[in-house]
Structure 1
Amino acid sequence: MRKFFPILQTLRSYKRKELPKDILAGFSVAIVLIPQGMAYAMIAGLPPVYGLYASLMPVLVYVLFGTSRALAIGPVAMDSLLVAAGLGTLAIVGLENYIALAILLAFMVGAIQFVLGIFRMGYLVTFLAKPVISGFTSAAAMIIIFSQLKHLLGVEMAGSNQFHRIFLNALQKIPETNFYDLTIGIVGILLLIGLKKWSRHIPTILIIVVLGILAVYFLNMESLGIKIVGTIPKGLPGFDLPVIEMDNLMQLWPIAVTLALIGYLEAISIGKGIEEKNDEDRIDANQELVALGSANMLGSFLQSYPVSASFSRSAINDESGSKSTLSGLFTVLLVLVTLMFLTPLFYYLPNAILASIIMVSVYGLIDLEYAKRLWIYRKDEFIVLILTFLITLFIGITQGILTGVLISLLLMVYRTSKPHFAVLSKIKDSDYYKNISRFGDEVILRDDLLIVRFDSQLYFGNSDYFKNQLFKYMSKKGDNLKGVILNAEAINYIDSTATRMLTKVIKKIRNDGIEFYIVGAIGPTRDIIFRSGIGKVLPKEFLFVKIKEAVAHFDHSENHTGEHERVAYQRNEPSN
């Protein structure tokens, strides 16, 4: 039970003196979450109150199932944009149907995450490589920022998840700009940036929300055409099961899978990053999938749309001294109070203020420094990043992330199909054998012996490359070649295709009167050698631990002199 409900383990060791810090952290997160949640709901195309609904049950569920003391669960910009992008491609009639599909999407995302967690498949997120995520998030941040121009300009504008369409729509609407909306939005942005630079401990979001409400109320700015949040429903969300229809499931599953993986990646990355900073090791990757999945599924029963972990709110939670997931209880408490009693206070909140909060919050997702480093050091990965960025920016959110994953996988396959193949030779006055291309003047070159190292597993994708490279270097040695040594230290697996290839290669080499040796094979590789056809064409006496032992055997056999000392692998040796 404690494994499935980590809160039970927390309560066993919880100290009373930790409670004030959890209370402070919980309230600090809530102060940011309430206006931020409403703003992010607007990104998702939902009424602002749904940001508050998404800040109740999901946060409470994470308290029970989560393993990170600092993660702050709730609405986030990226997931909100993905919701808008996914639902925006569907022919949805009416706001009620749109809301129903957003809630169904939360249930589907949660179900996918929960199943992945139960089957301990958190490793799947590793297929989302860093360049893909960086390109995707940078493009998504730009789309989010420009999607808020309609609130900053105070105009009605057609929505889109393609940057160029948003930009062109905004240009067309510039003549209709409401100067007062624009002024409030720019002042909000400047205050957010300035106050944050002055001190990170100032509740900047709360300050500009209060100032915006007071300005509109006391200066009667509503009469000037300023767009405001307006009436927010008072009270708690009703309990209702998502409406599940096969047609909707078929339409939503691609975006649900994307959201499930992206949301998990956000949470686990933020959680591990905070733990590294604090030298902690609490977070359980698979349990986090269960926690997020449960939060999204159960949250959908109380009108929540998909949620994940917020970087900014998690940082606040950590800096405020959160000691456990219990801090989330106090976040939920303040959101409850707001829904029950304080929603009328947000009536006069300008949309431009919410837009300024969104713009400043997501600007940090644009990571130019990482792109610069890749351009300098890893141009192949830079290409992955820039292609993901451009496809996300100009074609679509889902297409961008899926294409990025595909390109990064193709790059990985390409690399493994042509791995590093090194020719080794002995360093003068030593027993070390090194790459002759790196230690050219320091090695002893021999015409009668070829020593090679293959730095990858041997499988169907690179078996021909291995064979061609081996025969190429053998042909360079010419008729003087009498022995070949394969350093197999880096070969951790040999599949059936490569086994067949290696068997034929060894048989041909030995039939040509050239000795063949394998050295340094680790336990699993050695097991494959013994169980496969390789062991039939290469006696165990030609398997060695170290290169120098194989060389000694070769030299003795060539010179036909006396006995030699060697360490050969035995068939019954245990695997390493």
Structure 2
Amino acid sequence: MRIRLDKWFPAPPDFGRATVVTDLVAGLTVGVLLVPQAMAYALLAGVPPVYGLYAALVPLVGYALFASSPHTSVGPTALASLLCLNGIAGLAQPGSETFIGYAILLGGLTGVLQLLFGLLRFGGIGSLLSRPVLSGFVSAAAVLIMFSQADALLGVRTERTRFFHDTVLELARNVGALHLPSAALGLLTLLLLLLAGKFLPKKFPTMLVLIVTSTALIALVGADWGVKIVGAVPSGLPGLAMPVLSWEVVLELLPVAAVIALLSFIETLSIGKAFSPRHQHYRIEPNRELVALGFSKLLGMFFQAIPSSASFSRSAVGEGAGALTPLSSLFTAGLLVLVLLFLTPLFYYLPIPVLAALIIYSVRKLFDVAEMKRLWKLAPKEFATLAITFLFTLFAGLQYGVAGGVVLSLYFVFARAARPHMAELGRVPGTNAFRNCARFAAAETDPGILIMRFDAELYFGNADFFRQQLERFVDARGEALRSVIIDAHTINDLDTSGLFSLSQFLDVLDRRGVELYLCGVIGPVRDMLYKSGMMERMGAAYFFLSIQDALTHIAEERGDRGWDLPAVQHR
């Protein structure tokens, strides 16, 4: 059987030599950015820099083999690295062999969860975090990352802390003992990165130039300045190795693995959806992305890779450089192979303050001020959600921030579902259009006829609310009320709890001598009304296609209309 590679790997219809050349340029461009970032994020994760290169190599290849997006670049990221550090710091000393083993195992566990979710077709889990919750969490993570690098940037010796406020206090207590050469080098690097980002072309390799320059400078001055350096970086490709498995440790790491799995998937999906509309040769498939991420991390675990994720900055660089197919990622991996085999000795004198500046510069845009301003003006309630998530993440911790964000998102989903929109309708003067009286002050109403619209499915979550609200409107009309019309075209489903509430409401109206009419009932709801006997109890005369038909019937006081009319057909 012939395998159609063009049906599996996303590639444009005119794929050819020109495409390969474009992918080569894009892949090498991403690689130039990836090498220093991978080493910096490894230090952020609490492991030696070489493990960042391992995590940049194998997962990148594994993801490219299965992904539906050719533009998403995976590897070490600031958020995944910080979650790794926070999740393992309580179990082992950062930098120790035990810690490194746990970090590699954590990456594999994350992959197992994502692979399992993908095979089970759980691509919908990406909706567990609403946009305000995600923005609040990521903004808080950016603040945590920047403050976590402040000691390395300034050359300050501090004790590692678990909470943000403790980190700030620890920095404040020791800021007077900063190492001036380290602080000068780190702050100057950060300033140059900011200026270059503003005035130089985006494709200019600013990070590479600064790293080469600062490394050469420290190599020349040697130990005279006392700046902390990376030191020896092992040469060679990562060897195949079995992770150290301990069920006790697995259970300890499982919660943080679940957090990284969720956030990694959301990041990847967001990046893919941002770029795919610009290209016609692929579409993002959530379940396939889960499988690709899971496979890449699981494969990486056997080659000493720490947790990885998708990077928006590197993906944007690749897409901007013209990447069109997964070949660009493979070319990036090829550059990493050359670095690991031949170039690691060049990183010996790489200054730690420069890597800290690189991390701070890379994560600064994660602090989403634009989204905060937008929500403040557009949706104050959603801004409050963002602010709560931000503060909770900042002061309670990353894992709890994600858990709290999921709970908050689900709360708002259920709250909205349990209290859907309900409106009293009136006729717009001179028309047969019926609109919400609260929005259209001139809408005309009849004291004897109440017209209501319920904008949601009628199910157990909102059935009591439905009945209580209707009874409140009925009570407000008093003795003058003769008929209630429910515009049901927006009720897209009906379960037995909703049916019971409708029956109870009908009982209330019967006791008052008030008639109930249903208009615009859609097929599945009509079927439920018919099978339950509610349609027979009400009678065919009380079902209409439109509000105007019902009003005409009430005004003319016609008799029974029969069961063969469209409004009451149940099949």
TM-score range, shorter chain: over 0.9
Aligned to 1:214: 216
Deviations 1:311-347 (A, max 9, x none): 1100000010001011011101110100001000000
Aligned to 1:545: 545
CA separation of 1:186/1:2 partners in 2, compared to 1, >3 Å: closer, same or farther?
Answer: farther
Aligned to 1:501: 501
Aligned to 2:567: 569
- 1:203 aligns with one of 202, 205, 211: 205
Do residues 239 (structure 1) and 240 (structure 2) align? yes
SS in 1 for 2:342: helix
SS in 1 for 2:424: strand
In the TM superposition, what is the alpha-carbon distance from 1:156 to its structure 2 partner? Answer: 3.0
SS in 1 for 2:567: coil
* Greater Cα shift, 147-156 or 385-394: 147-156
Letter in 1 for 2:292: A
Write the distance in 2 (CA, Å) between the matches of 1:186 and 1:541.
80
How is 1:476-555 mapped onto 2 (pairs within 5 angstroms)? Answer: 476-555=476-555
In the TM superposition, what is the alpha-carbon distance from 1:7 to its structure 2 partner? Answer: 4.6
SS in 2 for 1:54: helix
Write the distance in 1 (CA, Å) between the matches of 2:10 and 2:34.
27
Write the distance in 2 (CA, Å) between the matches of 1:235 and 1:205.
24
8 Å contact from structure 1 (residues 543, 568) kept in 2 = no
In the TM superposition, what is the alpha-carbon distance from 1:554 to its structure 2 partner? Answer: 1.9
In the TM superposition, what is the alpha-carbon distance from 1:453 to its structure 2 partner? Answer: 0.5
In the TM superposition, what is the alpha-carbon distance from 1:249 to its structure 2 partner? Answer: 1.5
In the TM superposition, what is the alpha-carbon distance from 1:525 to its structure 2 partner? Answer: 2.3
CA separation of 1:413/1:551 partners in 2, compared to 1, >3 Å: closer, same or farther?
Answer: same
Aligned to 1:319: 320
In the TM superposition, what is the alpha-carbon distance from 1:430 to its structure 2 partner? Answer: 1.3
Deviations 1:79-108 (A, max 9, x none): 111111111233559711111111111111
8 Å contact from structure 1 (residues 5, 64) kept in 2 = no
In the TM superposition, what is the alpha-carbon distance from 1:48 to its structure 2 partner? Answer: 0.6
Write the distance in 2 (CA, Å) between the matches of 1:234 and 1:561.
92
Deviations 1:330-386 (A, max 9, x none): 101110100001000000100011000000000000011211222223222222111
Do residues 248 (structure 1) and 249 (structure 2) align? yes
SS in 2 for 1:424: strand
How is 1:80-95 mapped onto 2 (pairs within 5 angstroms)? Answer: 80-91=81-92, 95=96
In the TM superposition, what is the alpha-carbon distance from 1:570 to its structure 2 partner? Answer: 4.0
Aligned to 2:224: 223
Write the distance in 2 (CA, Å) between the matches of 1:182 and 1:38.
20
Letter in 1 for 2:424: V
How is 1:45-444 mapped onto 2 (pairs within 5 angstroms)? Answer: 45-91=46-92, 95-198=96-199, 199-220=201-222, 222-277=223-278, 281-441=282-442, 443-444=443-444
Deviations 1:538-572 (A, max 9, x none): 23442222111122222222xx5898999543444
Deviations 1:395-415 (A, max 9, x none): 111111111221222122222
8 Å contact from structure 2 (residues 530, 570) kept in 1 = no
* Greater Cα shift, 507-516 or 67-76: 507-516
Write the distance in 2 (CA, Å) between the matches of 1:86 and 1:163.
15
Gaps of 5+ in 2: none
SS in 2 for 1:440: coil
* Greater Cα shift, 10-19 or 45-54: 10-19
Write the distance in 1 (CA, Å) between the matches of 2:161 and 2:316.
31
Gaps of 5+ in 1: none
Write the distance in 1 (CA, Å) between the matches of 2:537 and 2:58.
65
In the TM superposition, what is the alpha-carbon distance from 1:124 to its structure 2 partner? Answer: 1.1
Letter in 2 for 1:152: L
CA separation of 1:94/1:435 partners in 2, compared to 1, >3 Å: closer, same or farther?
Answer: closer
CA separation of 1:7/1:434 partners in 2, compared to 1, >3 Å: closer, same or farther?
Answer: closer
SS in 2 for 1:569: helix
Deviations 1:264-304 (A, max 9, x none): 00011011112235577522111111100100000111000
Write the distance in 1 (CA, Å) between the matches of 2:264 and 2:340.
26
8 Å contact from structure 1 (residues 448, 480) kept in 2 = yes
CA separation of 1:562/1:254 partners in 2, compared to 1, >3 Å: closer, same or farther?
Answer: closer
Write the distance in 1 (CA, Å) between the matches of 2:105 and 2:420.
45
Letter in 2 for 1:203: P
SS in 1 for 2:56: coil
SS in 2 for 1:444: coil
Aligned to 1:455: 455
SS in 2 for 1:73: strand
8 Å contact from structure 1 (residues 7, 325) kept in 2 = no
Aligned to 1:14: 15
In the TM superposition, what is the alpha-carbon distance from 1:179 to its structure 2 partner? Answer: 0.6
CA separation of 1:567/1:486 partners in 2, compared to 1, >3 Å: closer, same or farther?
Answer: same
Write the distance in 2 (CA, Å) between the matches of 1:296 and 1:519.
54
Write the distance in 1 (CA, Å) between the matches of 2:532 and 2:371.
46
In the TM superposition, what is the alpha-carbon distance from 1:391 to its structure 2 partner? Answer: 1.3
TM-score normalised over the length of structure 2: 0.95
8 Å contact from structure 1 (residues 143, 393) kept in 2 = yes
* Greater Cα shift, 346-355 or 189-198: 189-198
CA separation of 1:166/1:561 partners in 2, compared to 1, >3 Å: closer, same or farther?
Answer: closer
Letter in 2 for 1:509: L
CA separation of 1:488/1:51 partners in 2, compared to 1, >3 Å: closer, same or farther?
Answer: same
In the TM superposition, what is the alpha-carbon distance from 1:138 to its structure 2 partner? Answer: 0.7
8 Å contact from structure 2 (residues 10, 282) kept in 1 = no
CA separation of 1:93/1:278 partners in 2, compared to 1, >3 Å: closer, same or farther?
Answer: closer
Write the distance in 2 (CA, Å) between the matches of 1:6 and 1:44.
38
* Greater Cα shift, 368-377 or 477-486: 368-377
Letter in 2 for 1:46: V
8 Å contact from structure 1 (residues 28, 320) kept in 2 = yes
Identity %: 37
SS in 1 for 2:425: strand
In the TM superposition, what is the alpha-carbon distance from 1:136 to its structure 2 partner? Answer: 0.6
